[in-house]
Amino acid sequence: MKKCRFMMLLGFALLVGGAQPLFAQSKKEKKEALAKEVKEQVESGSFTIEVDRALPMSGRAVHLTSSYSLELKDDSVRSYLPYFGRAYSVPYGGGDGLHFSAEMTEKDLKYDKKGNAEIRFQAKTSEDNYSFDVKVFTNGNASIQVRPVNRQSISFNGNLKLEEKDTTSE
C-alpha cells in the first residue's frame, strides 16, 4: 500500500513538473505572436493608438476616462487628443488644440534593439506645427510625445488597437 502511494505521488510530481515547460513555451509563443502582429500592423502604416493617460510638462498625470486616440493612415494623421498645459500663442477662443486631421511630413520608422517601433513625423495645421515621437512596444503598449510650437510639450500613454481577426468558421 505504501509503495502504491509512493508511486502515485511520484507520478503526480512528474506530471506536474513535466507540464510546466509546456505552459512556459506556450506563453513565450503567445508573446512572440503578439510582437509579430504588432510589427505587421505598424508596418502596414494604418493603425490607431487608444490613449488612456496624459502626462503634461507641468502638473500631475491625468487618467483619461473618455475615448481619445491617435490614428495614422498612410500619409495622414488624425489626432483626437486632449491638451493640458501652457499655451504661448493660440487663436481667439482657445482653438482646436490637438483635435485635427493633417498630412504627415518627414515620416521616419525604425526599430530599436528590442524590436520596439519608433515613428517620428511632423504635422502642420492652420493653428500650429507639431512634432510627434511615437513608440510602439512589442507588447502593444505605446507612448506618444507631442511637441507643438505654440504650446508646451505633452506625452500620452496608451495601447495599439489590434485588428480583430475573424474567428467564425463556416
Q: Report yes or no on 64 lying in a domain.
A: yes
Q: Report yes or no on 4 lying in a domain.
A: no
* Full DSSP string of the chain: -HHHHHHHHHHHHHHHHHHHHHHHHHHHHHHHHHHHHHHHHHHHTEEEEEEEEEEESSS--EEEEEEEEEEEETTEEEEEE---S-BSS--TT---TEEEEEEEEEEEEEE-TTS-EEEEEEEE-SS-EEEEEEEE-TTSEEEEEEEESSB--EEEEEEE-PPPP-----
Lowest mean pLDDT among 54-63, 70-79, 87-96, 136-145: 87-96
CATH of the domain at 109: 2.40.128.410
Q: Report yes or no on 109 lying in a domain.
A: yes
Q: Report yes or no on 26 lying in a domain.
A: no
Name the residue range of residue 136's domain. 46-160
Q: pTM score, two decimals?
A: 0.76
Q: Report yes or no on 5 lying in a domain.
A: no
Using alpha carbons, select from 136, 156, 27 the residue that is nearest to residue 81: 156
In this model, does residue 152 exceed pLDDT 70? Answer: yes
For the chain, what is the domain count? 1
Q: What pLDDT is stored for residue 169 in this prediction?
A: 46
